[in-house]
Amino acid sequence: MRAATRNNVTNRLFMSTFLVAFSSVALTSVFPCPAHSLDSDSPVKELPQKKSKQQTLAQELHSQQ
């Protein structure tokens, strides 16, 4: 490949990488990530709470008495 062609390919590759990186950062301002919404920090109430072994043992001891 000639030097001029190699220089042109390098410049196009650099420019396209810059544009993709810039666009991906800019798009997060336009379309925010849904995982970072305000509701994602609140606990989920639909899932049942799993009892720990200590709670299970304490409940068994109380039922035996």
Separation CA 22–CA 29 (nearest Å) = 11
Residue-wise pLDDT tens digits, 3-42: 999 999 999 999 999 999 999 889 888 887 766 665 555 5
If you ran DSSP here, which 8-state letter would residue 52 be given? Answer: P
Does residue 64 lie in a domain region? no
Does residue 44 lie in a domain region? no
pLDDT given for residue 10 in this prediction = 96
Tell me how many domains the chain contains. 1
Does residue 52 lie in a domain region? no
C-alpha distances (whole Å) from 25 to each of 12, 28, 45 are: 20, 6, 34
Q: Which two tokens stand for residue 17?
A: 């990488």
Residue-wise pLDDT tens digits, 49-59: 666 777 777 77
What residue numbers bound the domain in which 13 lies? 1-34
Does residue 43 lie in a domain region? no
Does residue 45 lie in a domain region? no
Indicate if the alpha-carbon torsion angle 54, 56, 58, 61 is positive or negative: negative
Does residue 57 lie in a domain region? no
